[in-house]
Chain A
Amino acid sequence: MERTPSGASGSPRPAHGGLRDDQVTGAALAVVGALVALQSWQYPIGSLADPGPGYLPFALGIALGVFGALIVAAGGRSPVFRWERFGDGLKGLAILAGLGFAALALEQLGYRITIAVLLFYYLGVLERRPWITTLVLTVIVSLGSHYVFARLLRVPLPIGLFGF
């Protein structure tokens, strides 16, 4: 779902000091911009009249650096940066770790086994659902989705080392 276009206008002003959200993120963007500009300089830049492959990335890197600096400059009124706000990030990392496993395993283990392990991890390990429900769902979804995508929609799905 997209963010609603309300901006940060309604955020309460923090009572004490410390680095602000926009100061941290603006600085990060400025660093990314500088790195991009440096890297683009390695590519053929061309000239103003005849730009090469490095020209626009270089210009955009500089622009990103400038926007980052502007965000830092105007960032004094944004909320104080706190790591606690990312408390739900641990579960997020666990969810992403599952997807990382899928990326590593998909072409090695094949579609059906990878999806079965992935679902078992999410339902059984992360969400601690009852084992029977987890197993039944794991089998039905991995085989059923394979049937729908590979057979009905003819989407080529990977077959792994076990030929499955």
Chain B
Amino acid sequence: MLETLGSLANGFEIALQPQLLAYAFAGCVIGTLVGMLPGLGPLAGISLLLPGTLGLSPTAALIMLAGVYYGAMYGGSTTSILMRIPGEAASVMTCIDGYAMTQKGRGGAALAIAAIGSFVAGTLSVVGLMLLAPPLAEFAIRFGPAEYTSLLVVGLIVLAYMSGSSMPKMLAMAALGLLCGMIGMDVMTGYARFTGGVIALRDGLGIVPVAVGLFGISEIILSAAKAREVSVRQPKLAELVPTRAELKASVGPIARGSVLGFLIGIIPGSAHIISSFVSYGIERRLSKTPERFGSGAVEGVAGPESANNAAASGAFVPMLALGVPSGPIPAVMLAAIMIHGVIPGPLLIAERPEIFWGFIASMYVGNVVLLLLNLPLVGIFIQVLRIPYRYLYPLILTLCVIGVYAVGQSVVDIWIMIAMGFLGYGMRKLGYEPAPLVLGMVIAPLLELSFRQSLALSGGSYSIFVARPVSAALLALALVLLALSVRTALTQRADWRQRLGLEERG
């Protein structure tokens, strides 16, 4: 414990350097804007900012991108509460009771509760991350290629299982993502695959054009077609103070949301979205007056907002401890630090402590910055929403062109972004989720390498995947989840995942 505190103190020394503080601040401001603007979710926002961090140190780059990530979680709540428009998907649940509170004149209090809940959850979950990641990394140092293969397979299956969407659809997207990740040179032999003779494709598809296309461009196409002018009601400063009763009612949901969000965050999947749905469902079930939910219950804001912020930190556990992304956002962040020559994996904490502890300390700092930023300055931030979308989306598209081109200095990346934007649009219209595609694409090289290394180690025997206990346990988990999905499909019964989806609609 003393060792942890010592490392954390060193981390604060790094994070409180004026320059890094400025990057954390910039990340939080950009993130808040990204979270508020429809058409720019955290994933597209982080991807677009990636080229801007190329000139920074890996620590500064990670701190700034993480600021964007949890800044977006804060920012998303503002538009949900004031305008019933979720700036990003994790804020869908906040729309319901947050907007109802605004209609009752309590929008300011809802914003304050969301900010306080996010702050408490963010801070608590960083403690969790700090305590959990180092021992997990120490455990994972003994992992061989067989364990990594099974871990990556189970990660994809958990992601598919958690979504509540059709399992074959999710697995098809994961397979498509893995195939996209195999475009380019084979990791072991250098053999070029699926490049069609395009030299730029020999290095594979970049994560940035794929993420910006699938999540950013497709959203812009959908939003631009139904662009409408919105009226924004700006809350007065005095309205921002919650009543004693509201604060009291929020304590439980914030505490539960923090723990729940962090735990869900560790599990692969779109954790920040799922955690807010689960939290809302639990709060409604625990409430003595569930009928208030939907018409302005403060618990319906406090729980989901805390949960999605805690999940944002939880998602960093597998990313920092194992070097394995649990969803598309950590995948892009991993790509960001890899561009700087940092090799992610269980040795990261031991070999590059300044990155890990600097990052942890910056998250504490970032949470304070966001609390100070969001409450008093909410009036300024919502001015951005007054910009009509027909002016806004051309500017965002310009940013997409610059961001995507700048990473690889190649126009092929812009074509990839366009193709992915088209694909993403079709997927959204036809009920397919892009998250497993992106995750599959990112982990494909690692999965293929560890799979073939495992077989090389075992002399070609597949028993290596079940002979090693950790690998066997992970594969057993994958089989159980597959069996559960098959049972649900055969019995046509709505299980908890679908019920969650139905509650969201209802």
Also in contact, A100 and B418, with CB within 8 A (given A5-B501, A123-B391): yes
Total A-B residue pairs with C-beta atoms closer than 8 Å? 241
Also in contact, A103 and B270, with CB within 8 A (given A2-B89, A56-B448, A155-B52): no
Chain B: minimal CB distance from A78 (Å) = 7
The reply to whether B401 and A102 contact each other, CB–CB distance below 8 Å, is yes
Q: Does B226 contact A (CB under 8 A)?
A: yes
Chain B: minimal CB distance from A147 (Å) = 12
Measured between beta carbons, the chain A residues less than 8 angstroms from B494 are 9
The A interface, classified by DSSP as helix, strand, loop or mixed, is helix
The reply to whether B51 and A155 contact each other, CB–CB distance below 8 Å, is yes
- Residues of B within 8 Å of A, CB-based: how many? 94
Also in contact, A99 and B418, with CB within 8 A (given A5-B273, A7-B164, A67-B171): yes
Q: Does B422 contact A (CB under 8 A)?
A: yes
Bound: A127/B409 CA distance, A: 30
The reply to whether B455 and A50 contact each other, CB–CB distance below 8 Å, is yes
**Binary flags per residue of B472-506, CB closer than 8 Å to A gives 1, else 0:** 00000000000000000100001001101110110
Measured between beta carbons, the chain B residues less than 8 angstroms from A32 are 176
Minimum-distance CB pairs A-B, first 10: A49-B460, A88-B225, A6-B501, A122-B394, A92-B221, A53-B186, A67-B172, A7-B165, A103-B414, A70-B168
**Binary flags per residue of B274-292, CB closer than 8 Å to A gives 1, else 0:** 1001000000000000000
**Binary flags per residue of B174-189, CB closer than 8 Å to A gives 1, else 0:** 0110110010001011
The reply to whether B401 and A99 contact each other, CB–CB distance below 8 Å, is yes
The reply to whether A7 and B163 contact each other, CB–CB distance below 8 Å, is yes
Bound: A100/B412 CA distance, A: 11
- In the complex, which of the residues B277, B405, B456, B498 contacts A7, with contact meaning CB atoms closer than 8 Å? B498
Q: Does B169 contact A (CB under 8 A)?
A: yes
Measured between beta carbons, the chain B residues less than 8 angstroms from A119 are 394-395, 398
The reply to whether A137 and B391 contact each other, CB–CB distance below 8 Å, is yes
The reply to whether A91 and B221 contact each other, CB–CB distance below 8 Å, is yes
Assuming A49-B455, A51-B455, what are 15 further A-B pairs, CB within 8 angstroms? Answer: A1-B87, A2-B273, A3-B89, A4-B504, A7-B497, A9-B164, A26-B172, A51-B451, A64-B172, A95-B397, A96-B221, A99-B414, A115-B402, A156-B406, A156-B409
Chain B: minimal CB distance from A141 (Å) = 6
Also in contact, A2 and B191, with CB within 8 A (given A49-B455, A49-B461, A64-B179): no
Identify the interface centre among B87, B186, B460: most chain A CB within 10 Å of its CB: B186
Of residues 69 through 97 on chain A, the ones whose CB sits less than 8 Å from some CB of chain B are: 70-71, 74, 78, 85-86, 88-89, 91-92, 95-96
